[in-house]
Structure formats: structure tokens, C-alpha cells
A and B are shown apart, each in its own frame.
Chain A
Amino acid sequence: MVYVAMVTGFILILMGLYGALTNSNILRMIVAFSVANTGVNIVLVAVGYIDGRTAPILDAAVPVAEAAVRIIDPVPQALVLTAIVIGLGVTTLMLAYAYKLYEIKGTLDIAQFSELKW
């Protein structure tokens, strides 16, 4: 199960990267990146998962004393949460840029934005 998720995550990452680097429309690139980010999140969660344990939430079901053996390592999940938020930030920024770029040139074709080169 972990492997399935992990493989799915990697496939999503690769598909996302492929999409981002082959679609010339800027919005579609951003969409592809968001797919890749989802893939990363899946990988992160899958790596942290230990079979048969519960969520790292201390409640009645999981006494504090047994927490260490009964819950999943909370660190990766904390990482994913942070990553999702940061990912949102970056995606938003990219979208803002996309809009700005569209304003400047009236196009979203990435190939049109290559005055700076060499």
C-alpha cells in the first residue's frame, strides 16, 4: 500500500514535471506543477506511514504512554502541512506573475517571454 502510494506520487511528480516542461501555456504549466506538488505530498505522507498505526493525534484512543509505539511519526505530516501552505504561496505567486505577464504581452505563451537570453 505504501509502495502503491509512493509509486503514484512519483508518477504524479514526473507527469507534473513533464506537463510543466512541455506545455507552453503558462497557466497549464502552473496546473502541471500543482499536480507535481500533490505527488510530492503523497510521497511525503507515504514515506512517513507505518503500517497499522494510527494518526498522530493524542486522544482517548491513544494514551500518552503508548503514543510512541502506536502512532505514526508526526514529523513527515508536519512537513507536508508546511509544504502545502508554502506550495499555495508559490502557486499564487506564479499565478500573479502569469497575470502580469499576460498584461504585458497579451499572451500566455512562455516562448514569447525570451527576450532575455544568452
Chain B
Amino acid sequence: AIAAGQATRARAAEGDPAILELPEHTRGLGRPVAERPYGLPSQWEANLQRRESPGLTRVPQASVSFTPLQGLFGIITPSGLHFERHHQGWWDIDPSKHRLMVHGLVKRSRVFTMDELMRLPSVSRIHFIECGANSAPEWGNVALPTVQYTHGMVSCSEFTGVLLSTLLDMCGIDRKTAKFVLAEGADGSSMTRTIAIERALDDCIVAWGMNGEMLRPENGYPLRLVVPGVQGVSWVKYLRRIEVGDQKWATKDEAVHYIDLMPDGTHRQYTGIQECKSVITTPSGGQMLLDKGFYNVSGLAWSGRGRIQRVDVSVDGGRNWRTARLEGPVLDKALARFNIDWVWDGKPAILQSRAIDSTGYVQPKINQLRAVRGTRSIYHQNAIQSWRVAESGEVFNVQVY
């Protein structure tokens, strides 16, 4: 045993066995091309899954699964990890039988097959989608252990489709009377949401493509509405119908949910915009720093009102701030990735990020949000997130202001 111990030590001094002993893959023949005609992540990445938050919802077909932001890079969300929000379950619809109808206050109504839609002039644009209820459980107090659950209802993809304005123009909308459109899905919930005509004629996309391929079934295959900057529930999946009208619809998901309860007991209705927000994803809640010393602190920032202009980071609970590097491209209503240097001295620290968008809006602190909106509004919680790094290296979700 002593001899073996000495041998191990000698070898350790000589170097790392992972280098000295050539691994199997350096001495063998690997696997063939196209063994997986559609590829998957490494077996070593299985920990990064979309996951439900237990207790958040009561039935899994009217529920949420969250994107594991704690392990992601850059701005593109892998489509396999895109968060899910269904109200009546997801379907894998036969695209040859899917139709889109556009009607209402138009000169001529229109029915399109997928074949027809996909012939139309298309655009491809990178946008974030965030559920209006992202970070909702923490309007009051800290409730969730990791960034997957605090912020994992945001994703960012490259969407391809025809501008909604192109379709509305084709139908000859009545520019005088047309004030709103209703978007409706083809699933059981037939999700319906009102969109202002200015939004509809601006940058909304009737999209079939997501990150280079067709939308995934969980995200509305074969057709979904993309409403840049607006909460995800308006990005109607399995889109089957657009009605042009002159009044808001007050549908269930704009009259009973996605309404923001204010301290005076009124609800703000039609609060779609996802205001400027950011979060540090590494290091973040539930993670352990391995050691003192240098870290690349990395995170995401976005704004439903435009581009990210700047992100500042504090490591002392908001007393002092430094401006982070933004990775390019920094796009309109898209996630932006920021990075900043940090040397951890091993002492307790509180990390925060604060985004500023192209309108000059500064992401608020949770107490500033509460001062205006109270703690019960559920939606649109875009406060600065705080992560406490303990001496042990463990990172905890906290509220600091």
C-alpha cells in the first residue's frame, strides 16, 4: 500500500494521468457520420433539461417548463431547451392540414395553407420571448433556488416568417376603422389575444421558422405569431386565425390572467410590454464557485422597448457598479449577452446586474417596483436580481436593496 501510494505520488508529480495515459478516444476509431441523422447533446450534458417548478401549477398540460439558463451561453436558446407554456397541452399538428384565416375589417378575407404562406416574402429576425409571469413568484419574497426557475421563462431565437403587416396589407385592412387584431390558436385552448393595430403593422411576424428549422411542436408548429417585445402569451401558437376589429376582446388571458393587481385593488389590463431586465446566469443561485480567484461573470439582458444599451454589474450589493462587455450582435428586442471580469477574494459578495435600454430606462430595484406596483401584481417583475456568494462558494438567491 505504501509503495502504491508512492507510485501515485510520483506519477502525480510527473503529470496528470489524463494527459500521460492517452485516452481511448486518442487511440481508437470513433463513430460514423450520420449515425445520428438528427444530432443530440452530449451524454454529459443531461443535467441541463427543461424542468417544471413543483407546486407552481396543478396540471402538467396547463403548466410551464423552464429553460436552464444556468448552463447556457450566448444569446441563442437551443430549441430543445426553449421554455414551454401550454394552457391545454401541446400537439404535433399535420402542417398540410393547417390553415390560417385572416378576416374581419378587411376588404377581402383570406385563407392560407402552409404552402401558400411559405411562398410569401419572408423575414428572419432574432427576438427574445419572455412569459409575462417570468420571475413572478418573487414579487414578494425569495422563493426559488436557481436562475432556471427565477428567470427561465425567457428564450431567444431566430424567427422566420411573413410580416403580419404583409398579410394585413394583402387583405386590405380598413385603415380608418381597424384598431386591433385578435390572434387565435388552433389548440384546445384556442388561445386568443388582442394586439393593437400599430403593433400588428410594426414588427410582428407570422412565423414558421425558429433557429433555422421549423418551430418545434411545443412552440406552436407549424405556425406561431411573433410579437417582439410583448409577453409570450401574445405569441399565439398553432396560429389559425387573425381577426381585424375595432375593439379589444378582453379574452380570458387578458381579463382574468395577465392582468396586474395594483395596491388599490384595480387590475392593470393590457400590460403586454416586457420592460428592460437582466440577470447574471453564471455564477447564479444554487451554484458553487470552485475556488477563489478570477471569474468571468456572465448574464443576459433584454428589453421589449428596443436594444440594450448598457449593462452594469455590482459585486457589493449595489453600492458600486462597473460596466460589462456586451457581446455582439446587440439587436432590437433580443437577448444580449454580457460578460465582466471579477476576482473573488473568498469573502461574502452580492452580485447584481442592471440593464439600460435604448430608451434610457434603467432596470429598477425590487423595492422601486414595489413602491409603485405593490407585491401582488404577479406579472412583469423585472427587478434587479441579487445573488449572494457565501464564503463556502455557494451562491444564494437573495433580495438586496
A-B interaction: no
Chain A residues within 8 Å of B, Cβ to Cβ: none
